[in-house]
Amino acid sequence: MHILRFFFLLPLFTFVHSAFAQNKEKPLNFIVIFADDLGYGDLSSFGHPTIQTPNLDQMVVQGQKWTQFYVGASVCTPSRAALLTGRLPVRSGMSSDKYRVLFPNSQNGLPNSEITLAEQLKKANYRTACIGKWHLGHQKKHLPLQNGFDYYFGIPYSNDMDTPQSVYKEKGGYLELINNPDNIQIENFQVPLIQNNTVIERPANQNTITRRYSEETIKFIKNNKSEPFFIYLAHSLPHVPLFASKEALGKSARGLYGDVVEEIDQGIGAIINALKEEGLDKNTLVVFTSDNGPWTLFKTQGGSAGPLYAGKGTTWEGGMRVPTVFWAPERIAPGIITQMGSTMDLFHTFSKIAGIPLPDDRILDSHDLSPLLFEKEKTSREQLFYYRGTQLYAVRYGAYKAHFITQGEYGQFGGKEEHNPPLLYNLNHDPSEQFDIAEAHPEILKKIEAIVSEHKNKMVPGPDQLKDRG
């Protein structure tokens, strides 16, 4: 019996050993593709009935589909800070109770004291590129080139910003501007397109921006194929206002939102093909995910959280659990992963794969996912902390999630409400958070409250970087 078991496990051992052996010969490349406001239910592989994402679906078949993967915050700026630093954004001051994100008149950005994933990988001589939406500070000192990236092509904040006040006045305010399709014109959103540190286009032509992001990614791959590289491709869509190229418009049964998502998928297909053409597909790890849940305020212009409750801006599952795919043919063990993971874990995971020691002068909230990726072994992540601004609203421990505070998305789904005792859900049984089981499980609440106490005792928030505006 033991001999049979050994021979059954031998192919997996050989696969894992081979994967790590190849890493020593040639470092693994990394590409992180980060959609903006894409919901958990917006890919065909995650259950959407009419949006077709064949390239991502193929990545799911060849790689890993993570069904319980989370962001560090449920809105743009803090979520991006969490991914790039491997830390809860409250630690770096990149979350705030006054302003949720950075704006064109914000004075600050990601502090220089933070170590970005790009800066970390530069220690192993990686070539690095940020393509797409940055949203961690628009002033030169805060842009990607000053944060470890060798190349930048993208917009400095959200695609709905920089609207002239005269346009708001004429159109009746922000909501009316976005909700009326006749108002969705490039000139109404004066967001700049930046290459490295220079504005090269204003307003950015958002009709072609998704395609151009994909093209820039492919150029960087081809120009740096002889060296290890890290590409952070942060699409500025499907955040409203929605734009798509002439070739993509009218193609999706889901309407304009579907056109946008399907064009992103087409670009991903082109990137995968480029990796294959350059012989890099067996030596590149691609991760696809979203910065937060769907902006349901905009109804059909926003996405779907699928079976999850609520969306962007909330600490309900629909706000912070995101569709995620890991792809590295013949490197990672294919399958569906139901264990927890977070965008913050990419920092530790990539560092481990690249053989770079972690910084020892700061607290990281990042866990190593490589045991799950390469060996399908359990990782060390058993807890998740759900912050809204600087306040801890909820905590997940194993299958259980306790809500100490709940609040709707920008006034939707009810106002701020504190819960004593906390609401408690078993997310493995009830991912929609419908059935409060707090009364039946006081022992779980007691354990989670002890976790909260320990966490708060060690938490030192960074100075608020979002509050200062010109």
Residue 414 to residues 116, 295, 320, 431: CA-CA distances in angstroms?
Answer: 36, 16, 18, 20
Query: Could you say which of 2, 17, 48, 76 is catalytic?
Result: 76
DSSP state, residue 469: B
Reduce the DSSP state of residue 298 to 3 states and report it: helix
**What CA dihedral angle connects 191, 197, 198 and 202, to 10 degrees?**
0
Q: Are 379 and 367 in contact (CB under 8 A)?
A: yes
Q: Which helix (H) or strand (E) holds 244?
A: none
Q: Position of tokens 């239910």? A: 41
Q: C-alpha 139: how far from its chain's center?
A: 23
Reduce the DSSP state of residue 94 to 3 states and report it: coil
Q: Specify whether 130 is catalytic.
A: no
Rg from Cα positions in the chain = 21
Closest CA relative to residue 302, chosen from 241, 213, 211: 241
Q: Position of tokens 């408690």? A: 424
Query: Could you say which of 48, 135, 235, 348 is catalytic?
Result: 135
Task: Determine the Cα angle at 6 with ends 4 and 12, to 5°.
Answer: 120
Q: Are 466 and 95 in contact (CB under 8 A)?
A: yes
Closest CA relative to residue 90, chosen from 461, 452, 386: 461
Task: Compute how many other C-beta atoms are within 10 angstroms of the C-beta atom of residue 376.
Answer: 16
Residue numbers annotated as active site: 76, 135
